[in-house]
Structure 1
Amino acid sequence: MATSSWRRSAFRVFGRVEPLVVLEQLGTSLFDTALLMVVKDRCATANATNPGTSTRVSGEDDQQKAMSDFYMVNNLIAQLTPILPALLLAKAGDRGWRRAPVVVPLCGYLLSSVALLQVVLLRLPIQVMFGAAALLGISGGFCAYWPGVMTLSSLGSNAENRSQVMMRVELMYGAAGLLGSLLSGHVFLLYSSSVGHGTVLLCVCTLLHLLSLIHATVLLKVKQISSEPEESSALIPRSPNSVPAETSTRKNTVNVVLLFSAAILYGSSVGGAVEILGVFVMKEPLHWNAAQVGYGNAAGFVIFLTSFLGAIAFRRCVSDVTLILIGMLSFASGIYFMSFVTATYMFYLARSLSLFGLIPLPTIRSLLSQQVPTSLCGFTLTALQLALRFAALAYIPAFTKLYQGTLGWFPGFVFTISSMLAVLGMIPISVMGCRWSRPRCFEEAGTTSETRHADEES
């Protein structure tokens, strides 16, 4: 009897989305470290054979430009190709195929890790990874996978605890990334006489992506949502004193636009900074090795834990809008300090200032899901992810060229620009906060006057 109960509990746990997130993110964190180190090695080799590199400084700058150019092209491909596939997968998910936006991208992740493994084993050109990035994009990539995960999480929760549920998924994502990053640098250095650096790491990465695909296909349980009228299936409850439908639609539309604007500005800030950060730590005066790269990535994933704990603590006394503002301010201060980092300990100090930097986007997704009916939840979250992808088409080349242009006099200038974008993102959220509280004030005032009028009549 006890064994049967234990088995049911185990199946219930493994049927949730969190184990899938852990497996996938463990594989991705290993892949990210491996890709960065392989790109560094290939760019260093190409730089050493280039007769035009006469000094160490000019050689290092050329290597930095080559690495940043590779990541610019690779990330642009990864941002552009998923747009149409992600929309199609989101539509399929909203029509009942809830696993599709999760399973299909996981196939792309598996093929990408296999491609990088072949690049290392067969000494193929690093440009082969451009094709792997396109293949990942055609499968939907992170643009389809993460909204699919968040949709499954939101459908399994109610409006009151949805932010907490989404933050818990983010926590598991960050914990897995922390563990994978801590191990990745050391595992990358493992090799035998027949294989080189990174082979063992990429074999483990491929195995983890395969396990995540099997989990999503076989074990993942999808909660069935009973069909309801559109009025009652809205994720945000209507008040008893409901306003006319036209006013309610207009108000929700404006809120969605404000949330999208804030997410795009803040996403551009974070994405632009992270785009350069991996290359930045490879140059002097930091000049990190594989193990230090893993530790640096782990420091970034610690922010998932601190953001989750901060959201739990602050939610007791502040609203979701205030939570978003706290997270944006935290990231803006941390990334501004990163502009002046010249030693490894300063890097970790800058990271510590961004303790709550991952609160905004999950909370924005939670607020967005409360502005639309259930039937549009997956499509709306995917549309937000696509908006962030379109923004990436602008900020990736802009941040890359800005970094290359300021290498000689202020390499950290891009982080100052990132901080300014984060501060700008606080403006639409502040407007959203004012709009969010105003109807409640009017509703309370209306309720008070009606009570008073009823008392006078009696």
Structure 2
Amino acid sequence: MGPQATCPGWGYLSGLQVRTWIEPVVASTQVASSLYDAGLLLVLKESLGARVANHSASTSPRGALEDQQQKAISNFYIIYNVVTGLTPLLPAYLLGWLSDRFHRKISICVALLGILLCRLALLFKVLWDWPVEVMYWAVALNGLCGGLSAYWAGVISLGSLGSSEGGRSVRLIFIDLILGLGGFCGSMASGHLFQQMSEKAWQGLVLTACSVSCASFALFYSLLVLKVPKSVAKPRKALPTVDTVSGTIGTYRTLDPDQPDVPSVAGHPQSPGKARSPKSMIVLLFLGAIMYDLAVVGTVDVMPLFVLRAPLSWNQVQVGYGMAAGYIIFITSFLGVLVFSRCFRDTTMIMIGMVSFGSGALLLSFVKETYMFYIARGVMLFALIPITTIRSAMSKLIKDSSYGKVFVILQLFLTLTWVVTSTMYNKIYQVTMEKFVGTCFALSSFLSFLAIVPIGIVAYKQASWLKHADITETKRC
């Protein structure tokens, strides 16, 4: 008797193809990243704080020293973010092209090597008291290996290949859920791990060592265990009627570019405008993603500086808890997609997420107490839905063989947006922190609501196609 006969569940378990799951890589990498992000911020606070104190007059008031420390940290992040964003541009695209042409794991494995080297640099900085400027070189090396742009594009490609069109939105948001859980665990532990060493000079050694360990696990798992899943997308029929797209009311043709000449209804060829619709939709989705990313990046980059100064003035443990609160959004966004996808279109879910983030950012601009901060973060409970759902929508409009290239291009656009926005917002924060510290958050709120416009145009196009399909089907009947 075979194993399937002795164990009825064996056939199901064998079909799960555990080695194709990208989730272990995502979880371990995100734990490493959350520990690294918190560790870098706390190391900068200690190192640059001591540097500012040594170069300032002993009679300087505490508020003046705090402002100088804030500006020093902000200036560091301006250069750091520029290097982080610009160095991966060419390598990430090249890795995406190689992944499409030769092997899907190339971009992930090379990018994870760079991430590991960057985490090692922070460990050595703490261990041997290197100057903080060494992190510029570390993050540049990470960028030359593709950085997060190549890594995340590879993750999305494998996730899309291993899911059907109908379940892709849920599949990708589930990957984000795993990322959020990993980030939550790492952030919750970061403040406590940072304080493990009694010697002040070595504070953060345990935290950075844990970050390196998690990054090492992710790299070796992707090299030795991870397998590329086979595409499970069902091929189109020669004479299809109207395809159903997940997350929509009714049905409309997805305009699959693999079959541009197939008529949407037998005997009724597509109009020229309709044949060009996927390109216009992709452009609008790109525009919506970039505008929304402008809002998110501005808030996320300024928030660590905001919580370190008055009126909040958080300590190391509170900083870790605050970062962990941000990862709760991954859980609530996942649950939101599970519920909303049953009754709303993808575009409607995207707009719900944008309204959620914009409202939370507006509340964040008026935060004066810690409990108000957590209320504002709670309002952002669906903030992750837009970018993930936009990626899902794009994957339904492009060929499987183009996933690596297209997702890398999108990620590079988002990275360039992040570089420009980070520099702009850090400068705005430095200018306005003494007058109205919430200026950056108010600006992010405005941009988030503005990003709804291109998504609304896509929704209108979809509604028009749905109406056209219903009318055509009625005529046939």
TM-score (norm 1): 0.93
User: Larger deviation: 373-382 or 401-410?
Assistant: 373-382
Whether contact under 8 Å (2:20, 2:229) holds in the other structure is: no
Identity %: 38
CA distance, structure 2, for counterparts of residue 174 and residue 399 of structure 1: 25
Amino acid across the alignment from 1:279: L
Whether contact under 8 Å (2:360, 2:379) holds in the other structure is: yes
Whether contact under 8 Å (2:127, 2:202) holds in the other structure is: yes
**Alignment pair present for 1:131 and 2:140:** no
**Alignment pair present for 1:281 and 2:307:** yes
**Alignment pair present for 1:16 and 2:21:** yes
Whether contact under 8 Å (2:163, 2:231) holds in the other structure is: no
SS in 2 for 1:221: coil
CA distance, structure 1, for counterparts of residue 464 and residue 405 of structure 2: 28
> What is aligned with 1:456?
none
**Alignment pair present for 1:441 and 2:460:** no
CA distance, structure 1, for counterparts of residue 363 and residue 188 of structure 2: 24
**Alignment pair present for 1:44 and 2:69:** no
CA distance, structure 2, for counterparts of residue 240 and residue 377 of structure 1: 28
Structure 2 residue corresponding to 1:322, chosen from 340, 348, 363 = 348
Unaligned runs of 5+ in 2: 239-255
User: Following TM superposition, by how much is the alpha carbon of 1:343 offset from its aligned partner in structure 2, in angstroms?
Assistant: 1.2
CA distance, structure 1, for counterparts of residue 121 and residue 328 of structure 2: 29
CA distance, structure 2, for counterparts of residue 10 and residue 110 of structure 1: 32
C-alpha spacing 1:317/1:297, structure 2 compared with 1 (3 Å): same
CA distance, structure 1, for counterparts of residue 287 and residue 139 of structure 2: 27
Structure 2 residue corresponding to 1:309, chosen from 335, 340, 343 = 335
User: Following TM superposition, by how much is the alpha carbon of 1:375 offset from its aligned partner in structure 2, in angstroms?
Assistant: 1.6
Unaligned runs of 5+ in 1: 452-458
CA distance, structure 1, for counterparts of residue 74 and residue 314 of structure 2: 16
> What is aligned with 2:394?
368
Structure 2 residue corresponding to 1:66, chosen from 72, 79, 97 = 72
> What is aligned with 1:76?
82
Whether contact under 8 Å (1:236, 1:372) holds in the other structure is: no
> What is aligned with 1:215?
221
User: Following TM superposition, by how much is the alpha carbon of 1:220 offset from its aligned partner in structure 2, in angstroms?
Assistant: 0.7
User: Following TM superposition, by how much is the alpha carbon of 1:206 offset from its aligned partner in structure 2, in angstroms?
Assistant: 0.5
CA distance, structure 2, for counterparts of residue 160 and residue 404 of structure 1: 46
Whether contact under 8 Å (1:235, 1:371) holds in the other structure is: no
Structure 2 residue corresponding to 1:386, chosen from 412, 429, 437 = 412
Structure 1 residue corresponding to 2:62, chosen from 40, 51, 56 = 56
CA distance, structure 1, for counterparts of residue 462 and residue 398 of structure 2: 15
Amino acid across the alignment from 1:65: K
Whether contact under 8 Å (1:107, 1:139) holds in the other structure is: yes
> What is aligned with 1:151?
157
Structure 2 residue corresponding to 1:240, chosen from 265, 269, 272 = 265
User: Following TM superposition, by how much is the alpha carbon of 1:96 offset from its aligned partner in structure 2, in angstroms?
Assistant: 3.4
Amino acid across the alignment from 2:309: K
Amino acid across the alignment from 1:92: L
Q: Deviations over 1:407-447 (max 9, x none)?
A: 11101110000001101100000001001121121121122
The count of corresponding residues between Structure 1 and Structure 2 is 451
Whether contact under 8 Å (1:33, 1:181) holds in the other structure is: yes
> What is aligned with 2:241?
none
Whether contact under 8 Å (1:236, 1:371) holds in the other structure is: no
Root mean square deviation, CA, Å: 2.5
User: Following TM superposition, by how much is the alpha carbon of 1:243 offset from its aligned partner in structure 2, in angstroms?
Assistant: 4.3
Structure 1 segments, 4+ long, off by >3 Å, are 1-6, 8-12, 192-195, 224-249
Whether contact under 8 Å (2:163, 2:232) holds in the other structure is: no
> What is aligned with 2:422?
396
CA distance, structure 2, for counterparts of residue 148 and residue 224 of structure 1: 15
Counterparts in 2 of 1:340-355, with a 5 A limit?
340-355=366-381
> What is aligned with 1:86?
92
User: Following TM superposition, by how much is the alpha carbon of 1:160 offset from its aligned partner in structure 2, in angstroms?
Assistant: 0.7
C-alpha spacing 1:149/1:64, structure 2 compared with 1 (3 Å): same
Amino acid across the alignment from 1:325: M
User: Following TM superposition, by how much is the alpha carbon of 1:56 offset from its aligned partner in structure 2, in angstroms?
Assistant: 1.4
CA distance, structure 2, for counterparts of residue 271 and residue 162 of structure 1: 25
CA distance, structure 2, for counterparts of residue 243 and residue 81 of structure 1: 46
**Alignment pair present for 1:331 and 2:357:** yes
TM-score (norm 2): 0.89
Q: Deviations over 1:157-190 (max 9, x none)?
A: 1111100000110000001111111111101110
> What is aligned with 1:454?
none
CA distance, structure 2, for counterparts of residue 295 and residue 324 of structure 1: 28
Whether contact under 8 Å (1:336, 1:415) holds in the other structure is: yes
**Alignment pair present for 1:173 and 2:183:** no
User: Following TM superposition, by how much is the alpha carbon of 1:393 offset from its aligned partner in structure 2, in angstroms?
Assistant: 3.0
Q: Deviations over 1:93-138 (max 9, x none)?
A: 1113100111111001100111001111111100000001101111
Amino acid across the alignment from 2:148: F
